[in-house]
Amino acid sequence: MNKLKLVIVGHVDHGKSTLVGRLLHETGALPEGRLEKVKAMSEKRGMPFEWAFVIDAMQAERDQGVTIDTSQIRFRTAAREYLLIDAPGHKQFLKNMVSGAAGADAVVLVVDAHDGVQDQTRRHAYLLRLLGIRRIVVAVNKMDLVEYRQERYQEVRREVAAYLRSIGVNAVDLAFLPLAARDGENLRTRSTAMPWYQGPALLEALDALPQPAPPADLPLRMTVQDVYKFDERRIIAGRIEGGHLHVGDTLLFSPINATARVASIEAWNAPQPLAKASVGQSIGITLEEDIFVERGYVASHAHSAPIVTNVFRANLFWLGRSALVPGAQYRLRRGAAEAPAVIERIDRIVDTNTLASGPGEKVEWNGVAEVIIRTRALLALDHHADNALTGRFVLVDGQHIVGGGTASTEDYPDQRRETAPKAANLFSVRHRVAAEDRARLNGHRGGILWFTGLSGAGKSTLAVELERRLFAKGYQTFLLDGDNVRQGLNADLGFSPQERAENIRRVGEVSALFAEAGMIVVSAFISPYRVDRDRIRAAHGGVFNEIYISAPLHVCEARDTKGLYRKARAGELKEFTGVSAPYEPPLAPELEIPSGEWSEERCLAALVNYVEQRLALRAPAKLQAVAGA
C-alpha cells in the first residue's frame, strides 16, 4: 500500500490537535482504550474533554493546552496509509514545527474560520513552501463558530489563496474545504450542516492527493556515515537517500572527486552480501580500489553527481535567540557532512506577512532571509529545487540548531575539477632557458597583473594605458582583455556560472604561460567568483598579482559606456554581474585601485609604481619613439 507523509500545521488554537484527534478516531487509528483513558483523566482534573488530549501526551501540553513537540501517528484509509505529523503552532516552538515538517509530502494548513489568517499562519505556509512541500490542503476549521456561513468560508478562502499564490504555490496544488473538527463535520463524509459545500470531505481530499515520486527515481545519493575496518576489508557505511546501486557500479565520491567500483554490498544481519540496494536502506559497501573516503562524503553516479562548492545562496529561517549578522560563524551540517561556515552577507530580509523584502543588517529570531553562506571546506550539495533531500542544511551554534534552510547553487559554478588530465601518455618538457635568465635579459620578472572588478570599474581603460606605458619604459608586456578573448579562444563560452568559471580557468593558464615566458601580462577580466581567482593563485602563486579595480555599483552603472547595465535592468541581458549575477570582491588583493574615487592618472601612477617595486630588476631603457607617441 502506498504511504503519504502528511504534516498538519497552523496558528496556535486554530484546532490542529483537535483535528488530528478526531481524524484518528474517525479512521479507527486510536489505540484501544486511549479515548476512555483521556476522558477519565479530563473528568478527574475537572477539565472539559478535548480531542486534542488524545495525542497531546506530554504532561506540559495537557496542563497548558498547547502542542510543544511533534507527534507522528499512522492511520489508514481504503486508498493508502498515512504518516501524520502534528506540528506545534506556537511561535515559541517554531523549531519543532520545522523539524517535524521537513520530511512531509503534503500539508494540511488549519485556519480558524472565526479568527482568519494570522501571522503564524503565513509564517508556517512560507516555511513549508521554503522546505519544498508543494501539495497543500487548507482546512477552514471551527465553522460552527461562524454558524456554518458560506460567506465567511469564502472570505477566509480568498485571503489564504491570495497569500499562497503570492509565495508561488500553484492553484493545481491547492485544495480548500470547510470543517468543524470537534464535531467531525466534513471529516469522513460531507457535512449536512453545510449543504452549500459540494466538494470532498477531508479524507476524500487527502486520498485525492497525488502520490509523490519515490526517492528511488531520484539520482543516487548515499552519505557516508563512517568507515569501518573488518579483517582486511574497509566497509563504507551509509544510508541511501535517493536512487539505488548495484555491485559493479562505479561510484563518484564528492567532494574529493574520486571514483571506485563497488565490490560488495553488506547489510546488518543479512545471511549473505546483497546484489543491489535501494533508497532507505542502511548499508555498507566495499570498493575494488583503495581510495580515501571519510564521514560526510556523498556517493553518486558520475552522470548525476551533486554540485561541489564552498559558497551558495540560501533561503534561511533563523531560530537563534541572538540575531544573525554578516560575518557570524557557525557550523553547517548537511547530512553527515559538517564544516565551519560564515554568513558572508545578507542580501534581503523577507517579511512573511506582507512578503515585502529589503536590505537589512541582521535577521531576528523567527526571521526569514536570503543570505550568502561560505564554508571553509568544499561540500557536496544539490540545488534544492532539484533534490529537496540533499538541498537542505542546518546551522549549529555550540550544541544548538539556530537556523536552517535550502540551498540554491544557480548563481555559482560547480567547483568540481578533474584531478588529472584526461589524456594519457603525457610527459612534461623541461625548458633549457631558466626563468632567472629571462628576467636578467628583460630587466624584470614575469608576472600576471590580474585586474578584477565590476563592469564599468575601469579595468580595460586602465589595462590598455598601462600596457602602453610599460612598453614605453621597455617592459615586455601584453594585454589580455575579456571581450577580446571571448572573440577567439573562448568564443564557445557563454555566461552561465560554469562557463564563467571555464573562461577564467583558460585565461589563467594562458596568462601563466605568458608569465613563464618572462612577460608581464595584464589580464583584465570581471572574474566574479573568488574561488576561480584563488585557483589561479594556488596554481601559479609565484607570479599571480590580484589587483582589485574597485568602484561602487552605482558609479559603474552611471558610467555604463557599453549600455550593458541598461540592458540588464531591462531584462535583455541575463546573468549580468552586479545586477542578476554575483560579484565577490577580493579579500586580500595585492593592490586595490579605487577607480571610483581616484583620477585615471593617479590610478595609472599607482599601477606603474607597483610594477617597478615588485617586478623590475633594473630601470629598463625607455623607448623614445613610443614614449613620445
Q: Say if 425 falls within a structural domain.
A: no
Give the pTM. 0.70
**Domain final residue, candidates 391, 408, 425:** 408
Residue 496 in domain? yes
- 139 neighbors 177 (Cβ within 8 angstroms): yes
DSSP 285-336: EEESS-----TT-EEE-GGGPPEEEEEEEEEEEE--SSPB-TT-EEEEEETT
Peptide bond into 255 cis (omega under 30): yes
Q: Which structural domain range is residue 256 located in? A: 215-304
Secondary structure percentages of the chain, helix, strand, coil, to 5: 30, 30, 40
How many whole angstroms from its chain centre is CA 358?
20
Q: How many CA atoms lie within 13 A of 41 on its CB side?
A: 15
Query: Residue by residue, what is the 3-state secondary structure of 151-193?
Result: HHHHHHHHHHHHHHHHCCCCHHHEEEEECEHHHCECCCCCCCC
User: Cell numbers 595585492 correspond to what residue?
Assistant: 590
The domain boundary, picked from 188, 207, 226, lies at 207
Which of 335, 383, 102 lies closest to 219 in space, CA to CA?
383
Reduce the DSSP state of residue 226 to 3 states and report it.
Answer: strand
Same domain, 121 and 255: no
The answer to whether position 320 is within a domain reads yes
- Are 239 and 145 found together in one domain? no
Q: How confident is the model over 177-206, as pLDDT tens digits?
A: 999 998 899 999 999 999 999 999 999 999
Domain count, the chain: 4
Q: How many CB atoms lie within 10 A of CB 432?
A: 6
User: Are 375 and 440 in a shared domain?
Assistant: no
Rounded to whole angstroms, how far apart are CA atoms 62 and 55? 10
Q: What is the pLDDT of residue 22?
A: 85
Q: Are residues 70 and 198 in the same domain?
A: yes
pLDDT of residue 52: 63
Residues of the chain with pLDDT under 50: 57-70, 89-93, 419, 621, 623-629
Is 309 within 8 Å of 415 (Cβ atoms)? yes
335 and 221 Cβ atoms separated by less than 8 Å? no
pLDDT of residue 97: 54
pLDDT at residue 43, rounded to an integer: 74
CB atoms within 10 A of CB 116: 16
Q: Which helix (H) or strand (E) covers residue 109, if one does? A: strand 106-112
- 212-213-218-223 Cα dihedral, nearest 10 degrees: 40
Q: Are residues 114 and 256 in the same domain?
A: no
| 134 shares its domain with 33 | yes
Among 144, 173, 207, the domain-final residue is 207
* Concatenated DSSP letters of 349-408: EE-TTT--EE--S-B-TT-EEEEEEEEEEEEEE--TTT-TTTSEEEEEETTEEEEEEEEE
Per-residue model confidence as pLDDT tens digits over 249-272: 999 999 988 999 999 999 888 888
What is the model's pLDDT at position 422? 63
Specify the pLDDT at position 90. Answer: 42
- Which of 108, 119, 177, 189 shows the shortest CA–CA distance to 143? 177
Kindly list the distances between the CA atom of residue 231 and the CA atoms of 219, 235, 497, in Å, as whole numbers in the listed order.
32, 10, 46
Residues 450 and 368 in one domain: no
Tell me how far apart the alpha carbons of residues 421 and 424 are, in angstroms, rounded to a whole number.
8
What's 359's domain CATH number?
2.40.30.10
